[in-house]
Amino acid sequence: MEHTTLLLIKPNATAKNKIGEIIKMVEDHGFVIDRLKIFRFDTELGRQFYAIHAEKPFFSRLIDFMTSGKTVAVVVHRDNAVAFLRKLVGNTDHTQAAPGTIRHLYGESITMNAVHASDSPENAVREIGLIFPEESK
């Protein structure tokens, strides 16, 4: 079944000019880009986007990081998009990520792990709506 999902290229990867390399990896794995946007999270959007982590000890560190620079949001689709993108992205901890995954190649820490990928079709819809509100109306 074909799904749409969201990839965020986080500030550490954008600062190191890895946007093109990451997008090429995604396209080379059969994903089709539907929308693309370069923006900077503000604190409010960061809090909404990562609300699931609000009570966790790393939440403020995560928000500080996500508001520290440019992020690239990429809406992609393919069969089983969520599962395949999560596999391509790799483990949150880049030191535990499989070789060849995006986080293995570009992650620097658990927080600065280069990318975010939606973890379910339902969360993809919610996250895409937050990042692209003008297209969700």
Instruction: Provide the pLDDT for residue 134.
Output: 83
Instruction: Provide the pLDDT for residue 136.
Output: 57
Q: Find all residues with CB under 8 Å of 74, minimum gap 6, and list them.
A: 6, 7, 8, 9, 23, 26, 33, 35, 36
Tokens of 128: 């895409």
pLDDT per residue as tens digits for the range 40-86: 999 999 999 999 999 999 999 999 999 999 999 999 999 999 999 99
Instruction: Provide the pLDDT for residue 123.
Output: 95
Domain count, the chain: 1
CB 117, CB 98: distance < 8 Å: no
Find, among 90, 84, 72, 89, the residue nearest to 121 by Cα.
Answer: 84
Q: Tell me which residue range forms the domain holding 88.
A: 2-135
Instruction: For residues 95-100, give the mean pLDDT.
Output: 97
CATH number at residue 49: 3.30.70.141
Active-site entry in 3, 94, 104, 116:
116
Instruction: Provide the pLDDT for residue 135.
Output: 72
Instruction: Provide the pLDDT for residue 102.
Output: 98
Report the chain's mean pLDDT, rounded to a whole number: 96
Cβ neighbours of 104 (radius 10 Å):
19
Instruction: Provide the pLDDT for residue 132.
Output: 97
In the chain the first and final C-alpha atoms are separated, in Å, by 25
Question: Is there a catalytic annotation at residue 116?
Answer: yes
